Structure 1
């Protein structure tokens, strides 16, 4: 049966089985080193590439703004919360900004630091046994000469919402303590990866496509893993993936992968490789630390080898500071956003009393897969004191955000309803 290009988890399971049997090649990392890294991850669930250590209770809310070494754009504290090498968008800063996330508010997820690469010196090399001939090089101008397409989709870190495993569910996890701001929706413009692969001479023998970034090499648990890379099945690569060079009508900024990055709709954010510099087209299954050693679900509920990551999950967030104070007896308009990678969000319900009663919110965007919907609901607080705001979304598959998310030690794919504390004064 051919792989469904949107089904990341099925692809992941197949590659893990092939690698365990010696039938998938460990691209650029010694197999013994990968086995050691995998054993560490399976035992402790804490490989944590690019992570900021355990996410203890209250870590996310208490993080102090600071400079992020190696980033280019300004990261003012009213727009971002700094988390190690990363910068999380403060969701309240999105209120009134429209459907697209402004570039100056788009979150930054770096495994190392942002490289500065001039467009006129950038080159993309496409190579491998899945091509009819030798390596083919694309300059920036050659890429832009291909037919351009646009896609409005979100990119979201797999750990978005991670801190709530601890603050809501009392469970320790490793990794960057994101709240809900490790997501952004942009209008990406670029060339189809399928057009590039066809120009390079992709053949029917091609199995996997492995894009690699131009940022610094990553070292984890004493193993040099090389540059960030994560394979895609050729079916996905030939489907809807972009080599993007514009973001919201501007040349792609350095912190967001400029001059050229991948945009892989529906899949977790690490698949959308930034600063892409070469693409291997394999005629045999390919493997890297970023598709089965890490970005897996480890924990008591999972098999020792972990469970594969699936596409991103269903979430909702208020455009309001966590712990905000709001005035009693004054009409407010609560606003927020909900999204799902599986299907369009069709309904959002809001509770202003900690989940006792729910009201349907008004949607302000046409529901669309791969993007979010903005919503609002009026509220006039009637009594002073602490309460919690809750929002839960339902998508077109009929799935509704649950009360809790099954625990995994690296804190991925949190999708439970978030309790948003406020104080009425």
Structure 2
């Protein structure tokens, strides 16, 4: 690879491309926001309040919209949303995995404008918290786990705009011996139990960086909102959300495997049934959700129900649903238009004769690799990867 040893050299080596500016973002009245934790409004008709985190309510999802608007996308913060001015921002790249090793003190500094001189790229993917569905460990399986009690709303499908990480690494010069990259954010250090763990950071393989990783400054045709990583974030499509570091501040490129508490202490399977050296979690499992509120009341007449299924490993190939508490199953009708990219798949089913009373609806998806949702999720002490079929309550009246 061509080595670029300075910011000036980086600019000279970058491919200058044109592109329309992203649209300015808009949101509801600021009076609905929670100062100090989350910047954007999180009204209760859209979100469940989890303190510094906010969960999307499936009952509020627009069935006609494939993408999740930033205003409706869940928020996962370890501390609080920082305020970062784009004009003051720079991404610092360093490490012995660069073609010419650079210590952190001599990191290459790249502004947003520098990065935007490289070829721009768009991709659509599912963004999902590793703990999505966590509350069902207790609700469905009677198991006690720790962490934010997410339902299924810590997820969304978005269209990113940015630059491929592989293009950045080619421009700065990458060693053939590089194996690991650690991304770190610019949010406040995370302090838990009196221990300062530093800023949120997590390593990932160079192979993922050279595959589909993106440095994103836009979402759905808009600049990123502060809560979603403005001015720049890492995106690792299909992987656990913690890997897609927001407010990206540094990239350390290394010839040895890097670690942090976010891949050794958290975001791996722990508990009596798991080995002490269980690997860090990466690819998200298969999940499904009905576009219904938990207290949904349906009429006692034919009704078309809708939902969405997704997988970190590939497209959804089929969805089976049960409208009688699991006694029988039928195929859902997949919306083929929503199966053209790496986002989720929308589906529907006609409930022809719903009987009055309380029911549980079930949806079970299979992806193109043959991975199917189990009826029971593998328990772990931190409540990650609840991928079992969820029993969706409804009342027919």
Q: TM-score range by the shorter chain?
A: 0.7 to 0.9
- Of residues 311, 315, 318, the one that matches 1:347 is 318
Q: Aligned match of 2:138 in 166, 182, 205? A: 166
In structure 2, distance between residues paired with 1:165 and 1:423: 23
Tell me by how many angstroms 1:284 deviates: 2.1
Matches within 5 A, 1:246-265: 246-265=218-237
Measure the CA separation in 1 of the matches of 2:298 and 2:326: 18
Deviation string for 1:67-102 (max 9, x for gaps)? 474211111111111112100000122232411111
* CA-CA distance at 1:366 after TM superposition: 4.6
Unaligned runs of 5+ in 2: 1-31
1:414 aligns with 2:381: no
Is the 1:213–1:275 Cα contact (8 Å) retained in structure 2? yes
RCO comparison, higher one (Cα < 8 Å, 6+): 1
Contact kept, 8 Å, 1:343 with 1:368, in 2: the verdict is no
Is it true that 1:375 corresponds to 2:342 in the alignment?
Answer: no
Paired residue for 1:293?
Answer: 265
Are 2:171 and 1:199 equivalent residues in the alignment? yes
User: What is the TM-score normalised by the length of structure 1?
Assistant: 0.82
Q: Which runs of 4+ in 1 moved over 6 A?
A: none
Structure 1's unaligned 5+ residue stretches are 1-64
2:69 corresponds to 1:102:
yes
Describe the shift of the 1:331–1:143 C-alpha distance in structure 2 as closer, same or farther (beyond 3 A). same
On the 8 A contact 1:298/1:305 being kept in 2, the answer is: no
Q: TM-score if structure 2 supplies the norm length?
A: 0.87
| Matches of 1:125 and 1:94, distance apart in 2 | 38
> RMSD between aligned alpha carbons?
1.7
Deviates more, 1:341-350 or 1:94-103: 94-103
Q: CA deviation at 1:335?
A: 0.5
Q: Give how far 1:368 is off.
A: 5.1
* Cα distance change, pair 392–197 in 1 and its aligned pair in 2 (3 A): same
Gap change, CA 1:389 and 1:69, over 3 Å in 2: farther
SS at match of 1:378: strand
**Counterpart in 1 of 2:307?**
336
SS in 1 for 2:390: coil
Cα 1:255–1:66, aligned 2, differ >3 Å: closer, same or farther? closer
CA contact (8 A) 1:389 1:419 kept: yes
Indicate whether 1:313 and 2:280 are aligned.
no
Query: Secondary structure at 2:201's aligned position in 1?
Result: coil
